[in-house]
Chains A and B, each alone.
Chain A
Amino acid sequence: MRQSMTIRILSALDRKSWLALATFLALTLVAVPVLHLAVAPDSVFHVSAYAITLFGKIMCYAIVAVAMDLIWGYCGILSLGHGLFFALGGYAFGMYLMRQIGRDGSYQSDLPDFMVFLDWKQLPWYWSGSDSLWWVALLVIVFPALVAFVFGYFAFRSRIKGVYFSIITQALTYAAMLLFFRNETGFGGNNGFTDFKRILGYSITSPNTRLVLFGLSALMLALTLIFARWLVASKFGRVLTAIRDAESRVMFIGYNPLWYKLFIWTLSAVLCAIAGALYVPQVGIINPSEMSTANSIEIAIWVAVGGRGTLIGPIIGAFAVNLAKSWFTVSFPEYWLFFLGLLFIVVTLMLPHGLVGLWKTLRQSRGARA
């Protein structure tokens, strides 16, 4: 009865889900580029550069939401530190983008502008290799993974859980934010990295580059979803939910929760970091405020709005909340925080299973009536 890996990954999603995913990929990889490049800008069907950047950004957020759902929805660990991993990924990739500016900065130096401003004569050692895309891509994954692993090892080993863990992760992120605010840290201080010019030699603002980044984000989101679906359907996933529901029982039947938690925690951090690396070239800036407490908690609300422990819910939540945000901050900037605050309260009080849960309940009640 042993099945091959391919079959098991294929069976991670049912037919309808594969169909939906294929439609999504067709839309993002074919339809959007065509509508952006081939349709006249004044046409109703034209997809604007603004829309592409916005949706590309939100797809990165959606990856983060799935990562958060894996650790929170399935393992019951609420992390308030995912903003950190997102930012670490973003900063790592930002280093490459800074190097790609070359001598086109305001000071026409080989060094990034902020280093010239600080009167530094050479790159700090941790910047070495940052002109190579491959090295940076490795860094995007390895460094956040290392941070998550070391922190997680000590936290989970001493059985810090529940709100304690949340608070410690919050403090970790806060400390990291302070560290990145310092000019001496070597990551641009307050202003972070911005004014990117090129990526692999291509102009970062050209429509083609934008579409490639957009497509990569879509592809990454799809892969994340498939992988996460496969993971939670495996025995590993069942142990995760078991840890969430009755950790002591899990220990007494012989599982060591440490390694399970550590694996999912590190994986979740890496997914965040990849999302961050895709996010930075699309948005064009990364600074320490990405690590603020507010950002990390907002990730949790995307997941809660969509529905915890459903994987698709968090994606819906990320889109819903962020679209609302971009609408509010343009139309009623002063009411956005009120709305967001209310959203936190209403979702936790009245929609414990999020939009997905609401939809299920509605369908069931309709089914019962029929």
Chain B
Amino acid sequence: MIKSLLVMLLCVFCLPARAALDASLVRQLADEDSSRKVAAISALTQAADPDALRVFKAMDEDSLFLAGGKVVVIDGDQAFDAVTGVPLKAPDSPEPISVNNRIRGELANAMAALKLFDSDAGVRLASAQKLQSKAGPELAPLLARALEKESDARIKDLLTLAHAQANLANGDPGARLAAVKALAGSSSPSVKSLLLPLTDKSLESNTRVRYAAITAVKDIDGRMALTENLGRVFSGLSLGSILLLGALGLAITYGVMGIINMAHGELLMVGAYSAYAMQSLFRAYFPDAIDWYLPAAVPLAFFAAALVGVVMERTVIRWLYGRTLETLLATWGLSLILIQSARALFGAQNVEVANPAWMSGGIELMPNLTLPWNRIIIVGFALFVLSLVWVLMNRTRLGMFVRAVTQNRAMAGCVGVPTARIDTLAFALGAGIAGLGGLALSQISNVGPDMGQGYIVDAFMVVVLGGVGQLAGAVWAALGLGVFAKLLEGWAGAVIAKIVVLVVIIVFIQKRPQGLFALKGRFAE
């Protein structure tokens, strides 16, 4: 106890003594001329004395005063000597030191720079990150010193970048060249914009530096294009997953029953509204567990859509087997009724379905490549549903029956497969999967009565491309279509991309009329 008191005392006495600032520079802070103030700030920062932080902070908070030719910090009714930090008697008529916006900016930078010498690594890291975008040439020596002292590898990397940036305006071509070379490894757009002036002949006279800058910009462009494309591939994958969820159900119903269900998009809508309903339920009764409404909505979405599917199959589709074009029209009628029902139940406007907290944010893979959690989870969810369907189709009795009916309805009936019940079950399954797709969709797009219409064309394209009744075909077609569309969107815009995709599909069907994974031989008419 006594010991620690002693230490504290020691500190109190030692600190000011050790950290005395250059008095003339501190005095200069109170100069009338802003430029001289700035020069003083800069000079004080160069000294890399953490004690200057105290003065800067006071200045920034407008509590730095000039009293009797001395610069003092006045905090409430206490006063300190700005140079030594020693408490003083409160002066009688302190003159405030004016701080304009320019000075404030300088102060902010200076304080950030000084934090580089903080003992806490976290503070240093934050400071280094802050300096990434605004390391001016005056900071170069400071950064060099901080770099020397730094031991943490991550902070060191950041400092190296900042140091190089600061050196870009250095008068010495050698220093500039070194800086450009150090920055060439970056992949951030802001570094690129820093380097761009150096590629201009009128702004950079040294040829070697200019060439190095040109190469560096090229390198950065290459890396940026890569990350951008990676980002697009990823959003393509997540779009593909949605398409897959939509198309899986369609592939089952079309494969098994040979019917085109135009109301499939509305089954997606049923799933999305299930998420909305479950969210409202949680908001009303379990507001604490609101983040968990989504998992709770999974079974609801599946069974609600499946139920609608069963009703559709039993009342309408059942009577139209073998008349595909008529089924197309009848199911379109069903879709109109479903849309209007949704309007009557939930209103014509879009409803708001919020992401649970655990789905917001993302993983930052690279400086300008962030994978949002909601999309990652959707990709995972699609994989999960896909594997579930695969197991169901290939490892269960129901799946075997379904495959039997797909291949040869009459023969399956002859060997005792209850084809009528299989139809209903398969339709319910396809509808349920669409419901799950709608649930996933509710997390990344608007939920409204006619949301299904936009996705149905794409889902059909997947089925057409993938071939009828082929799970593998649907998977490859969905992912391929998603990634292809997103990559195209990158350089041609969304509409042109859609049109190009359509044209590609039409051309593709020229070559393989039965889709990617077609049945061949005598069964293929």
Q: Enumerate chain A interface residues (CB-CB to B < 8 A).
A: 72, 76, 78, 151, 154-155, 157-160, 162-164, 166-168, 170-172, 174-175, 178-179, 181-182, 293-294, 297, 300-301, 304, 334, 337-338, 340-345, 347-349, 352
Q: How far is the CB of B45 from chain A (nearest CB, A)?
A: 49
Partner of B340 from the list A162, A168, A334 (CB cut-off 8 Å) is A334
Partner of A158 from the list B324, B329, B510 (CB cut-off 8 Å) is B510
Task: Confirm or deny: B513 has a beta carbon within 8 angstroms of a beta carbon on chain A.
Answer: yes
Partner of B495 from the list A78, A151, A167, A178 (CB cut-off 8 Å) is A178
With A162-B324, A337-B340 already in contact, the answer to whether A178 and B329 are too (CB < 8 A) is no
Task: Confirm or deny: B498 has a beta carbon within 8 angstroms of a beta carbon on chain A.
Answer: yes
Q: How far is the CB of A220 from chain B (nearest CB, A)?
A: 27
Task: Confirm or deny: B502 has a beta carbon within 8 angstroms of a beta carbon on chain A.
Answer: yes
Per-residue interface assignment for chain B, residues 329 to 350, with 1 indicating a CB less than 8 Å from any chain A CB and 0 otherwise: 1101111110110011000000
B334 and A341 form a contact (CB under 8 A): yes
Report the bound CA distance from A232 to B457 in whole Å. Answer: 33
Per-residue interface assignment for chain B, residues 452 to 488, with 1 indicating a CB less than 8 Å from any chain A CB and 0 otherwise: 0100010011001000000000000000000000000
Q: Please give, as numbers and ranges, the residues of chain A lying within 8 Å of B336 by CB-CB distance.
A: 294, 337-338, 340-341, 344
With A340-B336, A341-B333, A341-B336 already in contact, the answer to whether A171 and B513 are too (CB < 8 A) is no
A348 and B337 form a contact (CB under 8 A): no
B330 and A345 form a contact (CB under 8 A): yes
Q: Please give, as numbers and ranges, the residues of chain A lying within 8 Å of B324 by CB-CB distance.
A: 162-163
What are the 5 closest A-B residue pairs judged by CB atoms, nearest first? A344-B333, A341-B336, A341-B337, A337-B340, A341-B333
Residue of B nearest to A78 (CB): B325
Q: Please give, as numbers and ranges, the residues of chain B lying within 8 Å of A178 by CB-CB distance.
A: 495, 498-499
User: 27 A-B residue contacts at CB 8 Å?
Assistant: A76-B325, A154-B510, A160-B509, A163-B324, A163-B328, A164-B464, A166-B325, A167-B460, A167-B464, A168-B464, A168-B505, A170-B460, A172-B502, A174-B498, A174-B502, A182-B495, A297-B329, A334-B343, A337-B336, A337-B339, A341-B333, A341-B334, A343-B333, A344-B333, A344-B334, A344-B336, A349-B320
Report the bound CA distance from A167 to B324 in whole Å. Answer: 12
Partner of B502 from the list A76, A164, A171 (CB cut-off 8 Å) is A171
With A162-B324, A163-B260, A175-B502 already in contact, the answer to whether A300 and B329 are too (CB < 8 A) is yes
A297 and B332 form a contact (CB under 8 A): yes
Report the bound CA distance from A171 to B461 in whole Å. Answer: 8
A301 and B464 form a contact (CB under 8 A): no
B326 and A352 form a contact (CB under 8 A): yes
Partner of B334 from the list A72, A174, A182, A345 (CB cut-off 8 Å) is A345
Q: How far is the CB of B16 from chain A (nearest CB, A)?
A: 67
Residue of B nearest to A178 (CB): B495
Q: How far is the CB of B320 from chain A (nearest CB, A)?
A: 7
Q: Please give, as numbers and ranges, the residues of chain A lying within 8 Å of B320 by CB-CB distance.
A: 348-349
Report the bound CA distance from A182 to B450 in whole Å. Answer: 21
Q: How far is the CB of B318 from chain A (nearest CB, A)?
A: 10
A160 and B513 form a contact (CB under 8 A): yes
Q: How far is the CB of A215 from chain B (nearest CB, A)?
A: 33
A171 and B333 form a contact (CB under 8 A): no
Report the bound CA distance from A37 to B382 in whole Å. Answer: 66
Report the bound CA distance from A175 to B505 in whole Å. Answer: 12
With A163-B324, A293-B457 already in contact, the answer to whether A342 and B509 are too (CB < 8 A) is no
Report the bound CA distance from A175 to B494 in whole Å. Answer: 11
Report the bound CA distance from A175 to B336 in whole Å. Answer: 22
Report the bound CA distance from A167 to B55 in whole Å. Answer: 73
Q: How far is the CB of B342 from chain A (nearest CB, A)?
A: 11
Q: Please give, as numbers and ranges, the residues of chain A lying within 8 Å of B491 by CB-CB distance.
A: none
Q: Please give, as numbers and ranges, the residues of chain A lying within 8 Å of B495 by CB-CB distance.
A: 178-179, 181-182
Q: Please give, as numbers and ranges, the residues of chain B lying within 8 Å of A345 by CB-CB distance.
A: 316, 330, 333-334
Q: Please give, as numbers and ranges, the residues of chain B lying within 8 Å of A337 by CB-CB distance.
A: 336-337, 339-340
Q: Please give, as numbers and ranges, the residues of chain A lying within 8 Å of B344 by CB-CB distance.
A: 334
B325 and A349 form a contact (CB under 8 A): no
Having A167-B461, A178-B495, A334-B344, one finds 12 other A-B pairs with CB under 8 Å, namely A158-B510, A166-B260, A167-B464, A175-B498, A300-B329, A341-B335, A341-B337, A341-B340, A342-B333, A348-B323, A349-B316, A349-B320
Report the bound CA distance from A159 to B502 in whole Å. Answer: 18
Q: Please give, as numbers and ranges, the residues of chain A lying within 8 Å of B510 by CB-CB distance.
A: 154, 157-158
Q: How far is the CB of A278 from chain B (nearest CB, A)?
A: 26
Report the bound CA distance from A347 to B505 in whole Å. Answer: 33
Task: Confirm or deny: B196 has a beta carbon within 8 angstroms of a beta carbon on chain A.
Answer: no
Partner of A293 from the list B333, B340, B453, B511 (CB cut-off 8 Å) is B453
B506 and A155 form a contact (CB under 8 A): yes
Task: Confirm or deny: B358 has a beta carbon within 8 angstroms of a beta carbon on chain A.
Answer: no
Residue of A nearest to B260 (CB): A163
Task: Confirm or deny: B285 has a beta carbon within 8 angstroms of a beta carbon on chain A.
Answer: no
B329 and A344 form a contact (CB under 8 A): yes
Residue of A nearest to B344 (CB): A334
Report the bound CA distance from A347 to B344 in whole Å. Answer: 25
Q: Please give, as numbers and ranges, the residues of chain B lying within 8 Å of A157 by CB-CB distance.
A: 510
Task: Confirm or deny: B319 has a beta carbon within 8 angstroms of a beta carbon on chain A.
Answer: yes
Q: Please give, as numbers and ranges, the residues of chain A lying within 8 Å of B509 by CB-CB distance.
A: 158, 160, 164, 168
Per-residue interface assignment for chain B, residues 141 to 162, with 1 indicating a CB less than 8 Å from any chain A CB and 0 otherwise: 0000000000000000000000
Report the bound CA distance from A349 to B509 in whole Å. Answer: 32
Q: How far is the CB of A292 from chain B (nearest CB, A)?
A: 8
Q: Please give, as numbers and ranges, the residues of chain B lying within 8 Å of A78 by CB-CB distance.
A: 325, 328
Q: How far is the CB of A111 from chain B (nearest CB, A)?
A: 23
Report the bound CA distance from A349 to B505 in whole Å. Answer: 33
Report the bound CA distance from A120 to B509 in whole Å. Answer: 39
Q: How far is the CB of B466 from chain A (nearest CB, A)?
A: 13
Q: Please give, as numbers and ranges, the residues of chain A lying within 8 Å of B502 by CB-CB distance.
A: 171-172, 174-175
Select the residue from B316, B320, B506 with max chain A CB neighbours within 10 A.
Answer: B506
Q: How far is the CB of B499 from chain A (nearest CB, A)?
A: 5
Report the bound CA distance from A334 to B495 in whole Å. Answer: 32
Q: Please give, as numbers and ranges, the residues of chain A lying within 8 Å of B325 by CB-CB distance.
A: 72, 76, 78, 162-163, 166
Residue of A nearest to B463 (CB): A167
Q: Please give, as numbers and ranges, the residues of chain B lying within 8 Å of A301 by CB-CB distance.
A: 329
Residue of A nearest to B454 (CB): A174
Residue of A nearest to B326 (CB): A348
Q: Please give, as numbers and ranges, the residues of chain B lying within 8 Å of A304 by CB-CB distance.
A: 329
Q: Please give, as numbers and ranges, the residues of chain B lying within 8 Å of A297 by CB-CB distance.
A: 262, 329, 332
Residue of B nearest to A164 (CB): B464
Residue of B nearest to A72 (CB): B325
Q: How far is the CB of A348 from chain B (nearest CB, A)?
A: 4
Q: How far is the CB of B90 from chain A (nearest CB, A)?
A: 65
Q: Please give, as numbers and ranges, the residues of chain B lying within 8 Å of A159 by CB-CB distance.
A: 513
Q: Please give, as numbers and ranges, the residues of chain A lying within 8 Å of B460 by CB-CB distance.
A: 167, 170-171
B333 and A340 form a contact (CB under 8 A): yes
In the complex, chain B residues 199-235 whose Cβ is within 8 Å of any chain A Cβ: none
Q: Please give, as numbers and ranges, the residues of chain B lying within 8 Å of A163 by CB-CB distance.
A: 260, 324-325, 328
Q: How far is the CB of A1 from chain B (nearest CB, A)?
A: 39
Report the bound CA distance from A341 to B319 in whole Å. Answer: 17
Residue of A nearest to B508 (CB): A158
Residue of B nearest to A347 (CB): B329
A154 and B506 form a contact (CB under 8 A): yes
Q: How far is the CB of B391 from chain A (nearest CB, A)?
A: 29
Q: Please give, as numbers and ranges, the residues of chain B lying within 8 Å of A179 by CB-CB distance.
A: 495, 499
Q: Please give, as numbers and ranges, the residues of chain B lying within 8 Å of A341 by CB-CB distance.
A: 333-337, 340
Q: Please give, as numbers and ranges, the residues of chain A lying within 8 Å of B326 by CB-CB distance.
A: 348, 352
Residue of A nearest to B335 (CB): A341
Q: How far is the CB of B317 from chain A (nearest CB, A)?
A: 10
Residue of B nearest to A151 (CB): B506
Q: Please give, as numbers and ranges, the residues of chain A lying within 8 Å of B499 by CB-CB distance.
A: 175, 178-179
Residue of B nearest to A180 (CB): B495
Q: How far is the CB of B481 from chain A (nearest CB, A)?
A: 12
Q: Please give, as numbers and ranges, the residues of chain A lying within 8 Å of B461 by CB-CB distance.
A: 167, 171
Per-residue interface assignment for chain B, residues 32 to 58, with 1 indicating a CB less than 8 Å from any chain A CB and 0 otherwise: 000000000000000000000000000
Residue of A nearest to B258 (CB): A163
Q: Please give, as numbers and ranges, the residues of chain B lying within 8 Å of A166 by CB-CB distance.
A: 260, 325, 328
A338 and B457 form a contact (CB under 8 A): no
